[in-house]
Amino acid sequence: MDGVLIPPLNFSMAAPGIYRSGYPNSMNHAFMKKLQLKTILYLCPEDYSEANTAWCRAHNVQIVQCGILPNKEPFQFIPEDVVADALRVLLDCRNHPILMHCNSGKHRSGVVIGTLRKMQGWSLTSIFDEYRRFAGSKVRILDQQFIELFRIESVTYDKEYAPRWLR
């Protein structure tokens, strides 16, 4: 399998300089190297794997963690401020190219990308269509509700370093 590049589960380019995926493993490292990443934005509260941490250290990739607990009935909800923090990291071109990921690349990643799309002015129909394509049969209504009610004005970021596609 030498020379074969294997992207992480649910890998996709979300915007120029921003990629999303599920949790990468050592089989994905050669692919990730080709992306010339500056940053990995990890959306889970658990410690990052030693293999990925070592790879990041070896390739001068900074790891930023915004530990988001998933939306789950009946009493667990994503805090808006943590999503705003994740967006602040994504919207700083000094962090690009950046790979944002959670465990499967479906729910937490879908919520952050959904709120990013809202900031880009996408319609809710288009945002939810993209969310459902990644979530498959595991769609969470609470995630879609979070995206719909998310206040984009709660996201403060340095406009000097914002991506051109957001301006």
Is the CB of residue 37 less than 8 Å from the CB of residue 94?
Answer: no
Pairing outcome for strands 12-15 and 18-21? antiparallel
* Residue type, position 135, single letter: A
Distance CA 16, CA 33 (A): 17
pTM of the model: 0.94
At residue 95, the pLDDT reads 98
Q: Across residues 1-30, what is the average pLDDT? A: 94
At residue 122, the pLDDT reads 97
* pLDDT class of 69 with cuts at 50, 70, 90: confident
In tens, the pLDDT along 70-122 reads 776 666 678 899 999 999 999 999 999 999 999 999 999 999 999 999 999 99
At residue 79, the pLDDT reads 86
Site of tokens 């789950």: 72
- Which position has the higher pLDDT, 149 or 1? 149
* pLDDT class of 48 with cuts at 50, 70, 90: very high
Pairing outcome for strands 18-21 and 98-101? parallel
What is the chain's mean pLDDT, rounded? Answer: 94
Could you confirm whether 93 is annotated as catalytic? no
What is the set of domains in the chain, with CATH numbers? 12-150 (3.90.190.10)
**Which residue in 56, 66, 93, 102 is the catalytic one?**
102
Q: In terms of DSSP H, where are the helices of the chain?
A: 29-34, 50-58, 80-90, 107-119, 124-135, 141-149
Percentage of the chain modeled with pLDDT above 70: 95
In tens, the pLDDT along 135-164 reads 999 899 999 999 999 999 999 999 999 999
At residue 1, the pLDDT reads 57
At residue 73, the pLDDT reads 65
Percentage of the chain modeled with pLDDT above 90: 88
